[in-house]
Amino acid sequence: MRRVACALALSSLLSGCVARVVSVVYPRPETPEMRAKSLALGNLYLLFEKPQDFPVDAVYFARELSRRLSASGGHVLAYRVAREDRTRDPFLERLAPSGALRVRFESLELQRQGVRKQVKVQGKSLKEDVWLFKARLSLKAVLTSEPGGAVLASTQCAVALEEEAPRARDKDKLEWYAARHKRLLARAAAELPRLLGEVPSVERRRWLYSDEKDPLSERAVQEAGRGRWEAASELWAQRLDSGRGGWRELVNLAVAAEQRQEYVEAERIFRKARVGAGPDPQAAKVPFEEILADLASAARDVGLRSKRSVDYFAAPLAVLPFSDETGGFEGAEGLRTSAYRALAKGGYTAVSRVKADRALRGLGARPEELAAKLGAERLLFGSITRSEGAKAAGELRLYERAAGGEVWRSAAGKPLGSGEFVESLLETLPRRTQPFSLP
């Protein structure tokens, strides 16, 4: 849905000003059933049920699936791994999605077979022994409308991968799968939207303007090209605040809001840009009426962005220093840093660790006091309960001021490496899939 399709200089624009074309897709459902599906996909919550006997990179799969769904007009609010055995997800009310997609990884079939094949080396025909690896990954997906949980679509999906490898190295089947399984996940992410039933759509072109003489302006468009619309918007806003921007920066900001599916905000800024452009003949090239019509239809066919999900991720979160109950583990601060970065990349508004450490001096241990001092709505506590060298076991706990207590907890019973420890424990906490700049 949100991709920079191409880049071109428009000679008719003012000297030094360049426009780059961005592609935007709007669903156009043709039946009530399609419209219900379009609305569900417009504010979607992804839930993954991971298998116990083979690894699956849920973060990678969530981002790939989000990218594929976006290409047809969908939008993923958040994703998480669901471990608990309950029919209703504990974060549904907090995020208020219009739809939920629950994906269960059901089975993995692996084969390794010794094969002798003919190869040509310097014109000579030789026989070579190789391993032939095969994998078949099966999963089930159920799309529901929310609130209510009415099933809109249910499908089974199976993807396969086949590859040869030299027999000189005795590679195990699971070892081969672990090194290649992202390719299987990418295929599954590409296949699922089609199996769920795609909604017809229309593609529109939007222009992003940049001033080639201003590095800040050029950097903003580059950030947008990477899908980092929040970072790009900050740079365009700086241009406006400094007095160097005008209606073109407003158009850019409106397109960014449109890409984020903040349709009310996009309409407001597009209207402001049209007024600000006045009689400028270059503004006549912008199809304002078509854009406003698209935004009006989006509210009906896609739905407005869930305000609760925006508020959920906007609430400031402070990652506090981890406690070491073993008395000898030296990697606690490294684990804290990893957790901070993972949460910031996952869309949370993470309070600077430097600011947090300064504010913590001289304070007691009461969470409400810490949260008030830090200006944080949430506090992440970590504790290391067991260690083996650089590996650690422990738990993470999330305190929320509005709830007046702990709202989430996750534990690792066996020692894990730094990256695995953080990802394993955080995977059940909702995160966003869009790339974010670290604060």
Look at residue 435 and tell me whether its pLDDT is greater than 70: no
| Helix (H/G/I), strand (E/B), else coil: 383 | strand
Specify the CATH number of the domain 315-426: 3.40.50.10610
* Per-residue model confidence (pLDDT) at position 35: 93
Q: Quickly state the pLDDT bin for 329 (edges 50, 70, 90).
A: confident
Q: Quickly state the pLDDT bin for 87 (edges 50, 70, 90).
A: low
| Residue that is written with structure tokens 């910031």 in the block | 344
Instruction: Specify the pTM.
Output: 0.84
Residues whose CB is less than 8 angstroms from the CB of residue 59 and which lie 6 or more positions away in sequence, other chains included: 423, 427, 431
**Distances in whole angstroms, Cα of residue 283 to Cα of each of 5, 232, 272, 274, 338:** 21, 21, 12, 7, 46
Q: Quickly state the pLDDT bin for 17 (edges 50, 70, 90).
A: low
| Residue that is written with structure tokens 């962005």 in the block | 305
Q: Quickly state the pLDDT bin for 139 (edges 50, 70, 90).
A: very high
Q: What is the mean pLDDT of residues 61-90?
A: 85
Look at residue 14 and tell me whether its pLDDT is greater than 50: no
Tokens standing for residue 54: 């083979």
**Distances in whole angstroms, Cα of residue 102 to Cα of each of 38, 46, 79:** 16, 6, 10
The partner residues of 3 in beta bridges, in order of sequence, read: 23
**What order of strands is seen across the sheet that includes strand 150-166?**
76-81, 44-49, 99-121, 124-145, 150-166
Does domain 3-23+212-304 sit in CATH 1.10.10.60?
no
* Per-residue model confidence (pLDDT) at position 211: 87
* Per-residue model confidence (pLDDT) at position 140: 96
* Per-residue model confidence (pLDDT) at position 362: 59
Look at residue 438 and tell me whether its pLDDT is greater than 60: no
9 vs 428, higher pLDDT: 428
| Residue that is written with structure tokens 């869009």 in the block | 434
| Residue-wise pLDDT tens digits, 221-270 | 889 888 888 889 999 999 999 988 899 999 999 999 988 888 889 999 99
Residue 250's H or E segment, with its range, is helix 247-259
* Per-residue model confidence (pLDDT) at position 9: 36
| Residue-wise pLDDT tens digits, 145-200 | 999 899 999 999 999 999 988 876 667 888 899 988 999 999 999 999 999 988 89
Q: Are 32-196 and 315-426 the same fold in CATH? A: yes
Look at residue 85 and tell me whether its pLDDT is greater than 70: no
| Residue-wise pLDDT tens digits, 45-66 | 999 998 888 889 998 999 999 9
Q: Quickly state the pLDDT bin for 20 (edges 50, 70, 90).
A: confident
Report domain extents, the chain.
3-23+212-304, 32-196, 315-426
340 vs 73, higher pLDDT: 340
Look at residue 439 and tell me whether its pLDDT is greater than 70: no
Kind of pairing between the strands at 378-388 and 405-416: unpaired
* Per-residue model confidence (pLDDT) at position 161: 95
Asked if residue 160 lies in contact with residue 181, where contact means CB atoms within 8 angstroms, the answer is no
Look at residue 10 and tell me whether its pLDDT is greater than 50: no
* Per-residue model confidence (pLDDT) at position 125: 76
Look at residue 13 and tell me whether its pLDDT is greater than 50: no
Tokens standing for residue 332: 């606690």
Give the closest residue to 295 by CA, choosing from 31, 97, 88, 24.
Answer: 24
Look at residue 15 and tell me whether its pLDDT is greater than 60: no
**Distances in whole angstroms, Cα of residue 47 to Cα of each of 42, 90, 99, 347, 395:** 16, 11, 11, 17, 22
| Residue-wise pLDDT tens digits, 272-308 | 999 999 999 888 889 999 999 999 998 888 888 888 9
* Per-residue model confidence (pLDDT) at position 436: 42
Does domain 32-196 sit in CATH 3.40.50?
yes
* Per-residue model confidence (pLDDT) at position 365: 65
The partner residues of 99 in beta bridges, in order of sequence, read: 44, 145
Q: Please give the mean pLDDT across all residues of the chain.
A: 87
The Cα–Cα gap between 280 and 247 comes to 10
* C-alpha dihedral (143, 145, 149, 155), degrees to nearest 10: -20
| Residue-wise pLDDT tens digits, 380-423 | 999 999 988 889 999 999 999 989 899 999 999 899 988 899 99
